[in-house]
Copies of this chain bind each other. A is one copy, B any other.
Amino acid sequence: MQDPLKLDNFICFAVYTASHALNRVYKPLLDALGLTYPQYLAMVSLWEQDGQTVGGLGEKLFLESSTLTPLLKRLETAGYVRRERSKDDERVVVLRLTEEGKHLREKAIGIPGCIVAASGRSAVDLTRLQSEIVALREALNRSVA
């Protein structure tokens, strides 16, 4: 790095702005489902595996309960999710999709394709880039752990 304090040389700035750019592409698609982007991620995770706990979902999404609890309450108000205390362990809150929540998946099925199209890349190329970014994330997470 020639000039260490130049914005355009920052990997962080690239990731930060790419994240915002992705959000802007998702916005109109998710508006149609009545979801925000983090809510969509929670729903995707629950479509993969219903009945997760708040903590389990947080581990998958790398989010704290202080972020998830209000978000999940909004999904509950929207009628997509039910939050119920586990009988076995009253500390745990189990998340269950409502019928409407399960149904929403059909409407969401086309979204990933729209993102691939907006990226202007092949799915194969995106997958390669994606795994590189995941590797970066893992290295960063290791360094703080």
Contact = CB atoms under 8 A, between A and B. Distances in A.
Given A11-B119, A15-B15, A19-B16, A4 B136 contact: no
Nearest to A145: B24
A130 B22 contact: no
Interface in A55-110: 60-62, 105, 108-109
A18 to B, nearest CB: 4
Interface string A1-27: 100111101111111111111101110
Interface residues of A, number: 60
Given A16-B41, A18-B133, A112-B1, A140 B7 contact: no
Given A22-B12, A47-B5, A139 B120 contact: yes
Given A5-B44, A18-B133, A19-B19, A140 B112 contact: no
A33 interface: no
Interface of A: 1, 4-7, 9-22, 24-26, 37, 41, 44-45, 47-48, 60-62, 105, 108-109, 112-113, 115-121, 123, 126-127, 129-134, 136-137, 139-144
